[in-house]
Amino acid sequence: MAASVGTGSPCGACKFLRRKCTPDCIFAPYFCSEQGPARFASIHKVFGASNVSKLLHHVAVADRCEAVVSIAYEAQARIKDPVLGCVAHIFALQQQVQTMRVIKS
């Protein structure tokens, strides 16, 4: 997930936002220059860049990578199902568990 800060190429988030990527860019370590713009697009659409930036500033540096993965998953789920988001996936998994219990009985 490393970005190319300092190499002249903006991180994926800054590329998507069409802004200069600074050395202290909060998004750079998590959105590489290649796949980053597409990945960041859904996050920006659902949550907004400013909100995600604020959220990441409140998360410990050691936990930010997991936070970005989680935010990206939730954003994709919200785009797929705007009402339930990732809860729809949880419901589907619960239904599978229930079905397996019935079959096993």
Whether residue 1 is predicted with pLDDT greater than 70 in this model: the reply is: no
pTM of the prediction? Answer: 0.80
Inside any domain, residue 6: no
Dihedral over Cα of 57, 48, 69, 25: its sign: negative
Range of the structural domain that residue 55 is part of: 12-104
**Six-digit token string for 97:** 């568990």
Grade residue 5 by pLDDT with cuts at 50, 70 and 90: very low
Query: Looking at the 3D structure of the chain, how many domains does it have?
Result: 1
The confidence score (pLDDT) of residue 30 equals 93
Residue 30 to residue 33: CA distance in whole angstroms? 10
Inside any domain, residue 86: yes
Grade residue 24 by pLDDT with cuts at 50, 70 and 90: very high
Cβ atoms of 33 and 10 within 8 Å: the answer is yes
Inside any domain, residue 4: no
The confidence score (pLDDT) of residue 66 equals 97
Inside any domain, residue 5: no
